Amino acid sequence: MKKTWFLLTALIFFMFVPSQAQEIWEGRGVWAHPGDFGKSEKEVEDFFSLLKKCHIQIVVPLIKDTAGHIFWHSRRFPEAIHPEYKDFDLLRAITNVAPRYKIKVHAWLCDFPEGKDSPAFKSHPEWAMRNPEGGLTSEEKLTPEQIYGPVWMCPAQRPGYTDQWLLPMIQEVVQNYPVEGIHHDYVRYPGDVAPDSYCFCDYCVENYLLYNFFYYPSRPEAAVPLKNIRLRQESNWDQDFTVRPANWDQMSREEKARFILEGKSINRSDLDYFFYEMRCDAITRFVREAWELASAIRPDIEMSAAVFINPMKSGRFIGQRWTDFLPWLDITMPMTYRSHFQGSFEDYLLYLGDTVRAQVEWVAERSTLLVGLDAHYIFREELEPWEKAIQLLKSEKEARSPDLEKELAGLLQANIAYLARFSAPRAKELKARVELFRRGKIDREAMAEALRRILNDPPPGFFPGDKLIRTIEVVRQAKGQGVVIFAASHLSRKKLWGALEKAFSFAAQPAEEKIPARNHLSIRTWKGRQK
Ligand SMILES: [Zn+2]
């Protein structure tokens, strides 16, 4: 009898005490472009109701793009407003609608890239980053054929783009729009183009020596040599010495850049170490200042950032050692997209788990970690046969060969067969187009267009939602605190909202309680002490 009572009591206890699984907190976010929200408050409302249906708690809308266009009605920078948004204040509509859905809004700024025609660059070309030859990032080549577009602005130069343009923009948004947070993107140097080539603008070149205190400002010409007392040369570093070359003032920008990248302070090429550190410091300083400025206006403001997957490597190559600026981030979103990994989808899942576990260690609970996943590159296997066929169709006449044309014909057949698995009528339609193309009735461009139409509006299932669900599950297993998906437009075009809803279907918590802000407690205390 006693035993039965015990079991019954235990049963009642477990029925009413929430289980561990129900208490699991999970952050769920999505990056969204202006096009996702539409052009009216009604369309914005529709988008938010879709987000709500999929249990999204935070949306990150783009409000400053890499061309320097902005998507709010700025009073201070009206010339930067995107020409198609002069009559529609997108951020106003978003912040009007969001509270009704209890979804957080972190306004997303592409911090340092600007367009060649942007008002910032046109009015202040001296704010742009320069390479050792004095060139701009926009002239760099990404591959032998591909010119890199954006002009990057120097993060370090003061006064310059950072304090005269970008920080005032952030200030204006926080002042005039009830966003919950500011989101940094491109908060770095342009290492995907030229890791070692920036920035050698006039300011950075001169500031390098002073920032690292490589000479005495009271005696700029004085050369203080290394004093060798100890056996190992490098161990004599602590009796101060100078590094400024005697002919510094006569050296060209290029010579100074060579000196910085290849020169020695003591016994081996080590001056570049100070250059990379200086870049990391410039980015960290900006992130700190953005928070200081924003939180002075709205103490509850949150900050988040899209960062590269590995802060050690990104510190060296793009000046983004994000472990340095975690104190000023409430939410850290490493873009752990498949495009940053080699190999098969299964390889990716394995590497993703390892990477998220490393990210958990790097973040060390100093910020909320929402792992950035993509809804495009994970479909490499599905996309490749179509993209390859489009590429072959677009090839110049001289580049074509019987072998390549045979490969093209094979790809077209395989694509018809794949499409037929999801929509017989559309496969039939494509088959008819291919037949017309084969008989020379439509040209290569028309054939390529027919393939593009399928990719832009595929039948449901064409991009398997299971892949998205599996990547999210890997993040859970690796103890990431949540995920943020890049991007809403891919979810729409690839018809993946249903899969996302499924992935997020369990234990959907009330949104208003979610995404715990750290509130920068340590920094606040420090600031408090300053007063
Ligand atoms: Zn510079």
Indicate which CATH number applies to the domain containing 185: 3.20.20.80
What's the one-letter identity of residue 100?
R
Task: Judge if 181 and 315 occupy the same domain.
Answer: yes
Q: How many A from CA of 126 to the centre of ligand 1?
A: 9
Do residues 40 and 496 touch, judged by C-beta distance below 8 A? Answer: no
Task: Judge if 496 and 518 occupy the same domain.
Answer: yes
Residue at 241 is within a domain: no
Residue at 136 is within a domain: no
What's the pLDDT at 123? 97
**Calpha distance 506→114 (Å, rounded):** 41
What's the pLDDT at 506? 72
Task: Judge if 71 and 185 occupy the same domain.
Answer: yes
What's the pLDDT at 381? 98
Q: How many A from CA of 320 to the centre of ligand 1?
A: 15
Which of the listed residues 456, 490, 509 is the one where a domain comes to its end? 456
CA angle 399/405/410 to nearest 5° reads: 140
Which of the listed residues 456, 482, 512 is the one where a domain comes to its end? 456
Residue at 517 is within a domain: yes
Task: Judge if 408 and 470 occupy the same domain.
Answer: no
How is 359-397 classified by DSSP, letter by letter? Answer: HHHHHTTSSEE-EEEESSGGGHHHHHHHHHHHHHHHS-G
Q: How many A from CA of 255 to the centre of ligand 1?
A: 16
What's the pLDDT at 25? 76
Task: Judge if 469 and 364 occupy the same domain.
Answer: yes
Do residues 279 and 204 touch, judged by C-beta distance below 8 A? Answer: no
Residue at 249 is within a domain: no
- Tell me the residues surrounding ligand 1 (ion) with CB < 5 Å: 154, 157, 199, 201, 204
Task: Judge if 526 and 408 occupy the same domain.
Answer: no
Residue at 473 is within a domain: yes
The secondary structure of 29-96, three-state, reads EEEECHHHHCCCHHHHHHHHHHHHHCCCCEEEEEEECCCCCECCCCCCCHHHECHHHCCCCHHHHHHH
Low-confidence ranges of the chain (pLDDT < 70): 1-24, 507-531
Task: Judge if 443 and 299 occupy the same domain.
Answer: no
Q: How many A from CA of 241 to the centre of ligand 1?
A: 26
Task: Judge if 181 and 326 occupy the same domain.
Answer: yes
Which of the listed residues 406, 426, 456 is the one where a domain comes to its end? 456
Residue at 199 is within a domain: no
Please give the residue range of the domain that contains residue 441: 381-456
What's the pLDDT at 145? 87
Task: Judge if 359 and 480 occupy the same domain.
Answer: yes
* Cβ count within 10 A of residue 46: 14
What's the pLDDT at 235? 95
Look at the chain and count its residues: 531
How many domains, the chain? 2
Q: Tokens representing 306?
A: 């899209």
Q: How many A from CA of 133 to the centre of ligand 1?
A: 13
**Beta carbons within 8 Å of 126's beta carbon, 6+ residues apart:** 160, 201, 202
Q: Tokens representing 77?
A: 């920078």
Task: Judge if 388 and 367 occupy the same domain.
Answer: no
Whole-model pTM: value is 0.92
